[in-house]
Chains A and B, each alone.
Chain A
Amino acid sequence: MKSKLSRNLYAIPYALWILIFVVAPIVLVLYYSFFDIEGNLSLTNYINFFTPVYLKMTLSSFWYAFLITAFTLLISYPTAFLLTKTKNKQLWLLLIIVPSWINLLLKAYAFLGIFGTYGTANSLLEVLGIGSKQILFTDFSFIFVSVYIFIPFMILPIFNALDEMSPTLLDAANDLGASAWTTFRRVIFPLTLDGVRSGCQVVFIPALSLFMLTRLISGNRVITLGTAIEQQFLVTQDWGMGSTIAVFLIIIMFVFVALTGSRKRGM
């Protein structure tokens, strides 16, 4: 009885934390979303959201977030796999993680230089005989830089899942005559699915609301929901509309987490 009481007491700080920093902001966002720009209680913002402008924006945010997640996964999975095979895997892992300690803004600025007309990337293309191209302010540069930024977040959970896998399972598959591809498809991949899931969640959700890169790297040629929220709050000062977009973003995130959430019970 006493232990239960003290357990509840210890839970208070965490409960408070969640109440103040998670629940309260969401409730506030929801509350603001019901006020139009004049401060009247109304549903105009929600009606506004279902106009072609915002629907198109939602779709394109989705599309870009999907592309970013897919490419990140495509690069990260083999990398994580190779990492588990190397000798000093902790060192290699550290080397991959170190760039993520550098501020996002600084990395974005560095890419402005690398992808510029007279930047490193174009000099390389010249040398290769392809000739300089416009790289900055294109879909390619936006996705490239986003993928670069998200890679460590995808590698970590996959690496952990791969690392935890017992090597005896591979031996067993081998002994039972499975080919390398079958082993991967039927043994390795299913066992690391949880890592892939959490990696995708960690990448897809922030990718939906990227707003700084859209301006710096793609010169506002890519408009995401994040861009629109920033503009509504800081420039237009239409907090209601900004909150409404945020509400939809939150809903999308919940749906995404629910869909990709682990289905341990079913397994």
Chain B
Amino acid sequence: MKKLLQAFVPILIVSIVLLFVISSLNSSQGYSSKNKLTIYNWGDYIDADLIKQFEKEAGITVVYETFDSNEAMMTKIEQGGTAYDIAVPSEYMIDKMIQEDLLLPLDHKKLSNLNNIDERFMDLPFDPKNKYSIPYFWGTVGIVYNSKMLGDIEITSWSDLWDPRLKNEILLVDGAREVMGMGLNSLGYSLNDLNHDHLNEAKKKLDSLMPNVKAIVGDESRMLLENEEASIGLVWSGVASEIMAENEDLEFVVPKEGSNLWFDNMVIPKTAKNVEAAHQFIDFMLDAEVAAQNTEYVSYATPNKEALNYLPEEIVNDERFYPAPDLTERLEVYENLGKKNLAYYNELFLRFKMHTK
């Protein structure tokens, strides 16, 4: 017993000393819990220099945490015990969060830079009058392909993927809505179709794609496509522009049958502790120069029309990532389908994944 005590007491003392050192270090650097802003964002979805700049300008300490799916983000906010002041969900999730009363209404008077946002991206069906959310980035889902590896095969539509010459070449993303959406779009149905016959038809169509599918992967697809492990990938537009910068043979196309158009917006969850700072941060991100810098880093499309003036022409005029309005009309935004229908989408997707070649 005495030996045990002899072992424990030093550990206890060391722990207490360390605790004091940490807290004194924190306070000497101006970190205090008083003026703290907690941001909950997708991984690698902001230029970290901007956070430092904001901290300096506003005198607010930023705590930055990341998530990797809308669902995981919502689960965490719903369960409480968190103090996120800002979160960045996608449109269908914002709809769901509004319905479940998880968001605080925004005070537009505090957002002096709000006019910088292109009107095309304001007042969308998932959040009328932008009562709860402010656009952060937007993009599409499309096909990235390696023109060198494919030779003269050209890809412009979803149905081009069913070409028997593309055996074992396609990387799909591990997302039920994206893959099912591809099946639905290739048949001319809506991405938000709820008709079970249509959905089963789409699943059958996807089964026949299986010989061409190499793998169904997550974020690794960037690395795999960049390293020419496969020649075709179903990806989000920002992923495409990121890897295209690394490998010149890669091309991106938004299929002509239509595809998904998505928006990630900034919101203030109900659990927020520092609503004032949250508004300050949103306004900061809406600033044209800040948004431009962030866009260059993140490489998704910015909804900030003033920021476009600060961006290089080749980015702004790239129709693959800033599709012209006539193309965006063919694109569809995901609707919140409700738990039951989403479960059906996932069930079909699971069955598709289990379908052997």
Annotate A221-235 by CB proximity to B: 1 below 8 A, 0 otherwise. 101000010011011
Are A112 and B354 within 8 A (Cβ)? Answer: no
Are A220 and B229 within 8 A (Cβ)? Answer: no
Which bracket fits the contact residues of A? 20 to 34
How many residues of chain B get a CB closer than 8 Å to chain A's CBs?
30
Question: At the interface with chain A, which of B50-58, B116-124, B215-223, B267-275?
Answer: B215-223
Contacts of A56 in B (CB 8 A): 354
A-B contact count (CB 8 A): 78
Are A237 and B215 within 8 A (Cβ)? Answer: no
B228 within 8 A of A: yes
Per a CB cutoff under 8 Å, which of B71, B217, B340 touches A38? B340
Question: Considering the chains assembled together, what is the distance between the CA atoms of A85 and B71 in angstroms?
Answer: 54
A37 within 8 A of B: yes
Question: At the interface with chain A, which of B13-21, B156-164, B251-259, B342-350?
Answer: B342-350
Are A37 and B346 within 8 A (Cβ)? Answer: no
B305 within 8 A of A: no
Per a CB cutoff under 8 Å, which of A53, A134, A136, A221 touches B350? A53
Q: Which of B175, B214, B215, B217 has the most CB of A within 10 A?
A: B215
Known: A219-B214, A223-B350, A228-B350. Is A234-B343 also a contact (CB below 8 A)?
A: no
Annotate A210-223 by CB proximity to B: 1 below 8 A, 0 otherwise. 00000110111101
A182 within 8 A of B: no
Contacts of A219 in B (CB 8 A): 171, 214-217
A100 within 8 A of B: no
Question: Considering the chains assembled together, what is the distance between the CA atoms of A235 and B71 in angstroms?
Answer: 6
Are B72 and A53 within 8 A (Cβ)? Answer: no
Known: A56-B354, A237-B75, A238-B339. Is A112-B223 also a contact (CB below 8 A)?
A: yes
Annotate A65-78 by CB proximity to B: 1 below 8 A, 0 otherwise. 00000000000000
Contacts of B75 in A (CB 8 A): 234, 237
Contacts of A136 in B (CB 8 A): 215, 229
Are A231 and B350 within 8 A (Cβ)? Answer: yes
Instruction: Give the distance to chain A from B79, nearest Cβ to Cβ, in Å.
Output: 12
Residue of chain A at shortest CB distance from B346? A236
Annotate A40-53 by CB proximity to B: 1 below 8 A, 0 otherwise. 00000000000001
B69 within 8 A of A: yes
Per a CB cutoff under 8 Å, which of B168, B224, B343 touches A134? B168
12 pairs of residues in contact across A and B, judged by CB atoms under 8 Å? A37-B343, A56-B354, A109-B220, A112-B223, A117-B227, A118-B228, A215-B174, A215-B217, A216-B217, A220-B217, A234-B72, A236-B176
Q: What is B's interface to A at a CB cutoff of 8 Å?
A: 69, 71-72, 75, 168, 171, 174-176, 214-218, 220, 223-224, 227-229, 339-340, 342-343, 346-347, 350-351, 353-354
Q: A112-B224, A236-B343 are in contact. List 13 more A-B contacts (CB 8 A).
A: A37-B339, A37-B343, A112-B223, A215-B218, A219-B214, A220-B215, A221-B216, A223-B354, A234-B71, A234-B72, A236-B176, A237-B71, A238-B339
